[in-house]
Chain A
Amino acid sequence: MSAPPQVKALNCPNCGAALTIRASYHTLTVVCANCLSILDAKDPNLQVLQQFEAKERILPLLPLGTRGKLRGDVYEVIGFQVRTIVVEGVSYSWSEYLLFNPYKGFRYLTEYQGHWNDVSTLKSVPEVSTAGRPTATLLGEKFRHFQTSQAQTTYVLGEFPWQVRVGDVATVMDFILPPRMLSRETTASETNWSLGEYLPGAQVWAAFKLPGSPPPAQGVFANQPSPFKGGVKGVWGMCLLLLLLVFAVAQAFLIFAGQQEVFRRTYSFSPGSGGEASFVTDPFDLKGRISNVELSIFTNLSNNWAYFNFALINLASGEAYDFGREVSFYSGVDSDGSWSEGGPKDDATIPSVPPGRYYLRVEPEMDAGASTMQYELVLRRDVPSMGYFWIAGLLLLIPPAFVSFRSIAFEGKRWRESDYGGSSSGDDD
């Protein structure tokens, strides 16, 4: 239920400009928009309580008298004030719009660099804990302390249900639980609590049917909801499911891979014996679809090396897969203790070999003075190689890691503006 408030027309006793009082029974002070005199609204003669000079006239983004629908009720903008805090020598100012509905009372809209909050005063007093970092608890929900500052009123316009003065100072403690913010304002005479909820500027513009678009929000505001809230947990949960899926597919390949041994033979090589080192094996069949072939080399090398030139050659087509493998194994004991390097065994997987009849050309090499090497060659067809699945697993971690990074960066920006700047309190997730 809503109805337009009664409007009372008066004139400023200082400059004679017309004054409009919209919440007449509630208004204690009214500010002349022409001469910036703060007048006693309860005095029939509108006694001048204060005159202030402003370096520049500030035009409220929501003009006085503008009506809009918030939370289902029509409110009218009747007052406007600018409040300023000084942190490390730098002044930060925000705007507060006083809204009035004759049946619902007052509420506020605050604006700082394009960030809006819908604020209403609280009738109950939150419980404050100052053990460690202060917290405030309201209806079982814990708000974390964000900032304590001395806020000074630096500009006023319109009417107010309290004795407003430019220069009024209050100690403001802000506690956040995005998208809400609890604020405790303490003056010499009273303490007030209010609860704010973050509003996107576009929502304010729509509520008051303002022309154009709202000023863009700059930076991250104290109680601005994180666009990543909930998303981080969700994306990591999904990541876990996808990793399980990758694991299951990898297991299926492991189970169903042929892993058929197609060749096994033991040889010896004496580098000093002279003659041609290269030889070819007996032909063997590679069956099935296009798949890999794994060659395993088992040697008895010790403090020695060997190099093998291999060519897996298709008997019918003459197509060869050329590759080389080095096997070296060194070990010993020195002042650092025992050490070893390399190993006497090696594996190589030849990719995408079509089925057919093949043989292997082998050409071992060693130092001319090396002793005889015994070695065994084993060829297996369709051997599962989990390397790609490991890579897939790692690549699956990139999107959630990126979302987490963005979320942490967002929270870092939020808390950088707090009394705990630099030491991010972490994600709200």
Chain B
Amino acid sequence: MRHPFYLGYALILLGLVSFAEYRGWSFLSVNQVKDIPKSVRDNPGAYRSHYGFYPRHIGGK
């Protein structure tokens, strides 16, 4: 094998992306919140998500 380091690099890379794919990694920025009260099901408005306070973009040319 003429390029053992390249092969090693490639296999590590392939292993990483395969693991990422298997575990369902994503680039989406998600805020994980623990212990959401069960009452949210009865009163959805009582819960305000972390993303609820972000400024909105209003598009259009």
B-contacting residues of A (Cβ < 8 Å)?
231, 234-235, 238-239, 242, 245-246, 249-250, 253, 276-280, 289-293, 303, 305, 307, 309-311, 313, 318-324, 326, 328, 330, 332, 334, 339, 341-342, 348-353, 359, 361, 363, 365, 367, 382, 384-385, 387-389, 391-392, 395-396, 399-400
Contact = CB atoms under 8 A, between A and B. Distances in A.
Given A235-B3, A341-B60, A396-B10, A361 B44 contact: yes
Contacts of A239: 6
A311 B23 contact: no
B25 A249 contact: no
Interface in B20-61: 20-38, 40-41, 44-45, 47, 49-52, 54, 56-61
Contact of A328 (B7, B35, B49, B59): B59
Between A234, A307, A311, A328, the greatest number of chain B beta carbons within 10 A of the residue's beta carbon is seen for: A311
Nearest to A347: B28
B50 to A, nearest CB: 5
Contacts of A351: 23-26, 28, 30
Contacts of B45: 276-278
B14 A324 contact: no
Contacts of B31: 321-323
Given A313-B40, A318-B38, A382 B24 contact: yes
Contacts of B58: 305, 328, 367
A291 B24 contact: yes
B49 A363 contact: yes
Contacts of B6: 235, 238-239, 242, 399-400
B44 A363 contact: yes
A363 B40 CA distance: 12
A257 B29 CA distance: 23
A290 B24 contact: yes
Q: Which of A278, A342, A349, A384 has the most CB of B within 10 A?
A: A278
Given A322-B30, A324-B54, A388 B3 contact: no
Given A290-B23, A388-B21, 15 more contacts: A249-B18, A276-B45, A292-B24, A313-B40, A320-B32, A324-B49, A324-B52, A328-B60, A330-B60, A339-B61, A350-B28, A352-B26, A363-B52, A392-B16, A392-B17
A305 B24 contact: no
